[in-house]
Chains A and B, each alone.
Chain A
Amino acid sequence: MHEIGVRETINFLGLTFNIETLKMTWLAMIIVIAVACLATRNLKVVPQGWQLFVEMIIEWLHSQIDAMMGRRGRSLAPLIVGLFMFLLASNLIGLVPLMASPTNDLNTTLGLALLVVVLVHCLGLYFKGGHYIAHFFQPTPVFVIINMIEEIAKPITLAFRLFGNILAGEILIIVLLKLMPIWMPIPLVAWLAFSIFISCVQAVIFTMLSMAYLANAVREDHAEE
């Protein structure tokens, strides 16, 4: 059982890395890729078994993207489905004893959140150009302050929400393991079950919020065009 809050670090090329987070990230990546490969192996025009499930997810995602972003959003579908699967796998890994979620490290969540927000601004500039910048100064230029705070708050809230939920869940698991005698497993089991729920919900929330932010930048705005 690792010490809470203390991270093993290594130095590589003068940079410091949290090695456990990286290992767990790679594990999550491998799990995600393996699941994806298994699910999409042997694709047929008439679907069966796993393929149905994967198609269902992608169809649902496509409909969400179409509704939120319009046709331009389709190219972002792999990013969003990847984000969701990676977060789900990452969150759930932490519930396995002796393992930790990559998402219990702020580096992971903030990295993903920054990636999303940077992508939002880049796509907004690419698709809308001057309108995108102008829209921060509306309805009056004074609003730029509020808008800036909002834009800065986006990645921070996104990152800390996920980070806090997952880390808290893992901490409580460790605490419960130490606190409760082994013959009294009900609180731990209950918390584990709740953690599974939380893991799924947080993955969904992060993904949906990312989609909403991206949609803002990508959606064809009839008023502006």
Chain B
Amino acid sequence: MIEINATILAQILNFLILVVILRAVAYKPVARLLQQRSDKIRNDLEQADADKKAAEQTLTQYKAQLADAQKKAQAIVEKANVTARQEHDAAVAETRKEIERMKQTAQAEIENERNRAFEEMKSQIVTLSLAAAGKVVSKNLDTKENDKLVNEFISSLNKDMFADMK
């Protein structure tokens, strides 16, 4: 029952053959697959980490850009406001100046017109006076008396008739 013979060698050989076959057929593919899977999982995790980091970075970037843009927009609006106010003020000032100038021009013109009218009237009055004087002279040749009369008349004109035209 307990005899040892060459079977022991055969069994060792058999077992070694079995191990070699098993290793080739079953163990290696499974071990490789396990390795593949763990590699894949590790890669996926690393990829996910990288993606997350990138996404966070992009988000921060976008937030910064957004804040920047808002600041810029604010600045632009303020600048526009200032510019508009300045332009408005300038336009108002310009208009006032214009009005002032026009007023002055108009006043000057009015002055001129009045002076001219006054001169004209004065000359007409002189003419009329002379005509009147001529008629007086034709009747009364005392020139000295006449001149005195005429001058008196004119100065009275000056004082009384044009007093309200000034």
Contacts and interface: CB of A to CB of B under 8 A. Distances in A.
The residue in B12, B22, B36 that gathers the most chain A C-beta atoms within 10 A of its C-beta is B22
B27 A78 contact: yes
A58 B31 CA distance: 8
B11 A81 contact: no
B18 A32 contact: yes
Contact of A45 (B2, B10, B16, B40): B40
Interface string A69-91: 00000000111011101100000
A130 interface: no
B10 A22 contact: yes
Interface stretch (A102-110, A173-181, A191-199): A102-110
A82 to B, nearest CB: 4
B29 A111 contact: no
Interface stretch (A34-42, A134-142, A211-219): A34-42
A207 B3 CA distance: 24
Interface stretch (A11-19, A93-101, A146-154): A11-19
Given A17-B10, A26-B14, A110 B4 contact: yes
Chain B interface residue number, banded: 20 to 34
A63 B162 CA distance: 131
B23 A82 contact: yes
A51 B37 CA distance: 13
A202 interface: no
Contacts of B15: 82-83, 86, 111-112, 115
Contacts of A81: 22, 27
A7 B5 CA distance: 12
11 contacts: A22-B7, A22-B14, A32-B18, A33-B26, A51-B30, A58-B27, A77-B27, A86-B18, A111-B11, A114-B12, A115-B15
Given A25-B11, A33-B18, A107-B11, 9 more contacts: A33-B22, A36-B26, A37-B25, A40-B30, A45-B33, A54-B30, A58-B31, A82-B18, A115-B16
Interface of A: 4-5, 7, 9, 15-18, 21-22, 25-26, 29, 32-33, 36-37, 39-40, 43, 45, 51, 54-55, 58-59, 62, 77-79, 81-83, 85-86, 102, 105-108, 110-112, 114-115, 167
